[in-house]
Amino acid sequence: MNKFLKKRLSIISFILIPIIFLWHPNWLGFLGIQPYWPLFWLLPWSMINGSINGIIFGLFLGLILDSVTLDSNFTQIPGLIFCGVWFGRIKPHSDFLVGHFRYGLICAFGSFLCGTSFFFQILFKNFSDINFLVVIPSVQNILAEVFLTGLFAPLICSQLLRLFKSFIGEKHGNKFLY
């Protein structure tokens, strides 16, 4: 059972993302806003498996998250695909502290990109409407999301990266561990 769970850990954690996204735990939020959960999974996955896998799973995550939200006019796919490509080009840092700090910074910037892409879609749709009533809450959304994503990323990404690596290490005779 333990071996089965370990082998399927990446898939199980992938399935859990929309569940956490729907769960929306308020005690983890700030100003009613949550961290951008998919990036916590996408960063370690893309770092290990590369940009192509990053694109594919960015698309998969986008599709699944779009399906559980009601806004049919806006999509999260472009931001997640871009992050998948970018994260795939990043290599782990040898220094423990710098590495953790980097996860926070990268995820915060990724969240900013995803938030901005979503915001531009809203602006584009409301372009004909002269009073941009959605601008101030949207900026607040982006900033709070960036802050929270950057705050939690070092904790979550480092653990997921370690778990994914240990599985790949076992699969390929530990050559990916070092």
Partner 1 sequence: MLDIRRISTNRWWHKKKTWRFLGIFFILIFLRISKGSLYKDFYFFISKPFWPGQFQKEVIINSIEKESLIKIDLLKKDNIRLREILSLQQSSNNDNISAAVISRKTGSWWRQIILNKGSKDGVEIGNTVVGPGGLLGRVQSTSFFTSSVRLLTSPESKVGVWVDRFQINGLLVGSGDDHPNLIIYSKDADIKVGDFVSSSPASTLLPSNIPIGIIKSIEEPFQTKKTAKVLLLAKPHAIDWVQILNSKI
10 binds partner 1 (CB under 8 A): no
Query: For residue 109, is it left (φ>0), alpha (ψ between -120 and 50) or beta?
Result: alpha
- Using the rule CB under 8 A, give the single segment among 39-47, 59-67, 82-90, 96-104 that binds partner 1: 59-67
Cα 8 from Cα 21, distance rounded (Å)? 20
133 binds partner 1 (CB under 8 A): yes
Contact partners, residue 101, CB within 8 Å, separation at least 6 = 154
Cα 76 from Cα 89, distance rounded (Å)? 21
66 binds partner 1 (CB under 8 A): yes
73 binds partner 1 (CB under 8 A): yes
37 binds partner 1 (CB under 8 A): no
145 binds partner 1 (CB under 8 A): yes
Please, are residues 42 and 87 in contact by the beta-carbon 8 Å criterion? yes
Residues near partner 1 (CB under 8 A) are 18-19, 22-24, 26, 29, 31-34, 56, 59-60, 63-64, 66-71, 73-74, 115, 118, 122, 126, 130-131, 133-134, 136-138, 140-141, 145
